[in-house]
Homo-oligomer: A and B are copies of this chain.
Amino acid sequence: GYGRFGLGYTSADVNPMGGAASTWVEQRLRLNIVASTTSDMGVEFGAKMRMQYDDSNTMVAGNRAQFFVSYEGFYAQVGNITTALDEDTAGLFYATEIGLTDTGFGDSRSDFFAYESKAGNGNKVGVYGKYTISGVTLEASFINPDHYDLNGVVAGSVANDKTETSFVASYEGGPITVAAGATWNGAGIDGNDVWYLGGKYAFNDAFSAGLTYINEGESALVDLGSTTSIYGTYTVGAMGVTAYVAQIDNYDTAAPKSDTSFGIGASYDLGGGVKLLGAVHRDYDEETFAEAGVKFAF
């Protein structure tokens, strides 16, 4: 897991915790408890529970369990799974995420399922599979949000109970990284289909740049249009700088102040898994979001 803490700032009236403070101490502690064993034939069986504290939380509970099986190039999960989209093996779906809190306004604005770090709907069960060979990775995931057929039986059941299906194919070789992925019935919402294409090229050891196009879904029967982002990273020694611009188009929702958001972030590696991280963004409402701090892996 990891810990991170630092300072955050927003020009908006309400901060991410729902309060009025424009500056705050940013905090997260993520503990992954992973236990596994390997059978005589070399198949690894394991399970993971996460305990995560985020700023303004009052306490920490373990999340819903994830089980995994790994054998050579094959890897699968059962239970509280990651999804093919959310796993983002190639790093192109969340390519604009920078800074202490991995924030990027080029992220998809659609609803879709992801691994849940906190308490969640126990009626939601998924299966995820990944196969890697010669730089090509194929991923598929299926999540049924009403697996035990509890709807109408217990309170708190989801209204959107379609099975979400996702596929992603990606390739990493030499300077080239490409990925294509799609989700049907994202977050269990009937007809909420999302797909994306992304590519990145490393011009040399120091500079790489890429482009990601996301065709957003329909979260509440309204088409969210598309999100296109370009991004580039320049690395020199322990220092790295990443900048991005993201543009939204063809959406049927109310228009924000701007169709464009952008951000720039820097990281400095202190060694031992410790990094200094900072970033400044301008979002679609033309508000400024900034943060700086330290993140340490353990």
Give the complex CA separation of A49 and B61 in angstroms.
11
Question: Would you give the shortest CB distance from A209 to chain B, in whole angstroms?
Answer: 29
Give the complex CA separation of A63 and B57 in angstroms.
9
Give the complex CA separation of A41 and B46 in angstroms.
36
Chain A residues numbered 118-155 whose CB sits less than 8 Å from any CB in chain B: 118-123, 125, 127, 147-150, 153-154
Number of interface residues of A (CB under 8 A): 68
Question: Would you give the shortest CB distance from A257 to chain B, in whole angstroms?
Answer: 24
- A298–B35 contact, CB under 8 A? yes
- A65–B21 contact, CB under 8 A? no
- B148–A59 contact, CB under 8 A? no
Residues of chain B within 8 A of A272, CB atoms compared: 37-40
Q: Is A15 an interface residue (CB 8 A)?
A: yes
- A67–B5 contact, CB under 8 A? yes
- A148–B15 contact, CB under 8 A? yes
4 closest Cβ contacts across the A-B interface? A40-B271, A60-B62, A19-B148, A59-B119
**Chain A interface (Cβ < 8 Å from any Cβ of B):** 1, 3, 5, 15, 17-21, 24-25, 27-29, 31, 33, 35-41, 43, 45-47, 49, 51, 53, 55-65, 67, 69, 78-79, 118-123, 125, 127, 147-150, 153-154, 270-274, 294, 296-298
A–B complex contacts, Cβ < 8 Å, 27 sampled: A3-B45, A3-B67, A15-B148, A15-B149, A18-B154, A19-B153, A20-B150, A21-B148, A24-B148, A25-B127, A25-B147, A27-B65, A27-B67, A28-B65, A29-B65, A29-B67, A36-B298, A37-B298, A38-B274, A40-B271, A41-B270, A43-B270, A45-B294, A49-B51, A56-B150, A59-B64, A59-B118
